[in-house]
A and B are shown apart, each in its own frame.
Chain A
Amino acid sequence: MIQVKDIKKSFHQTEVLKNISFQVEQGEVVVIIGPSGSGKSTLLRMMNFLEIPDEGQIIIDSKKIHFDRKRRKHRNDAEICSLRSDVSMVFQNFNLFEHKTALGNVIEGSIMVRKMAKEKAIHQGKEFLQKVGLEGKENNYPHELSGGQKQRVAIARALAMRPKAILFDEPTSALDPELVGEVLAVIKKLAEEGMTMVIVTHEMGFAKEVGDRVIFMDGGYIVESGPPKKVFENPESERLKQFLSRFSNVV
């Protein structure tokens, strides 16, 4: 479904991703964990081409894009824009369109990018809002919603693109603790329905519960990966053991 091959990325001389390869199968939920600054967000943003790799390949559903240093692609490149709508992204800070209502946020992509008829987009948009538990909030603007509601609108907006996969970058980190549960519940429901997802999170309990596979990153490398049971209960590397010890109360 998504294949990442030999990806390298530097920001001003510092190498943030040092040769990363992995793949995500259809219907799989991959959870990425790791310490702050290890490159998790950068890797996720690359799968949506918000960052452009210096080297390597990204294959999305058999469409292959090759990156090298000599012919740099721009993130506004037409080829890249068309691929992007197949893989949706949910951001830590929601990034809802502030000048649009909840429903306006959800239907924007259907109408403008997918060129769907307006009535159909609205009908479908309402269904997605219902799915994330927000019926009745269609006409509220983002500033009238709580953090948890905003993030659920963002998830509905991602779903409305009918993506082949959804990427989540710490979807609950900006939320008050009592609002985390409602967002995780929505993601869990999507996992049960077989949505392909890649989730960066610091919620270890959640990672263990929904993840089919856990990837541990540190210092720009994938240090260890495997089924959650193995990664959390029998970590091999010292670095992962050390990292997990900080969450010992959860796992």
Chain B
Amino acid sequence: METILTFLPALLQGTLITIELTLLSLIIALVIGLITAFARISNNFFFNKVAGVYISIIRGTPLLVQLMYIYFVFPEFGIKLSAFSAALIGLSLYEGAYLAEIFRAGIKSIGKGQLEAAYAIGMNYSMAMRRIILPQAIKNVLPPIGNSAILLLKNSSLAAVIAVNELMHTGENLATTTFRNIEIFTLVAIIYWILHYPMDRVVNLLERRMSNDSGQRH
């Protein structure tokens, strides 16, 4: 018990970095995702293609490879990044591609009749999006965004391979110096579980609210 307590300060330090990495990349990914989703549904051939290629690259290659690539290959082209920045960029790009697909599906789930009704009262496309389509889509996309954020939290542990001092890497370091594998990795697992728990509750709540809504509708 005492030994466990001696590991905790270091692990909590790592936990803060994990939280920071997850939150920052989630925020950046939300922006990237929304922009990419609009590019995907736009009639502009160029934007559409660029967004399609981006999503395909991210979804078609492992996150581990992407992180290594950003950290080890980018410097060869003169782009030198700290481990934390590389992880932040990697996770944001990764999450952004998945959120783009979630946003796109959410916007598509709003029937085209809503857009036409908005046009019919004289709105243009951007006003119709802001006032009519997005407010309805946001309800549909919140639960999948929450689920994706939980995956992101867990995926952030991959940043350990490029030596970001987050929770996983801190645990690994402690384990190699103290050989207390059981205690340390059990603690690491428990901390991830505790971090995910409130997110899971929120997703659950949102999902329940959504099915109640559609229950009324039919």
Residues of A participating in the B interface, judged by any CB pair closer than 8 Å: 48-50, 74-76, 78, 81-82, 84-85, 88-89, 91, 93, 95-99, 108-109, 112-114, 143-144, 157-158, 161
Contact = CB atoms under 8 A, between A and B. Distances in A.
A143 B204 CA distance: 24
Given A91-B117, A98-B114, 8 more contacts: A50-B119, A91-B116, A95-B111, A97-B114, A97-B117, A109-B123, A112-B131, A113-B127
Nearest to A77: B124
A84 B119 contact: yes
A48 B127 CA distance: 18
Contacts of A50: 116, 119-120
A108 B121 contact: yes
A95 B119 CA distance: 11
A158 B122 CA distance: 11
A220 B50 CA distance: 40
A78 B124 contact: yes
Contacts of B111: 95
B113 interface: yes
B125 A76 contact: yes
Contact of B121 (A93, A99, A113): A113
Given A78-B124, A93-B113, A143-B216, A98 B136 contact: yes
Contacts of B125: 76
Chain B contact-residue range equals 20 to 34
Interface of B: 43, 111, 113-114, 116-125, 127, 131-132, 135-136, 139, 216-217
Closest 3 CB pairs of A and B: A85-B122, A109-B121, A95-B117
B131 A81 contact: no
Nearest to B118: A97
B121 A161 contact: yes
Contacts of A48: 119-120
A127 B136 CA distance: 27
Residue of A84, A93, A95, A114 ringed by the most chain B CB atoms within 10 A: A95
Contacts of B216: 143-144
Contact of B131 (A78, A108, A114): A108
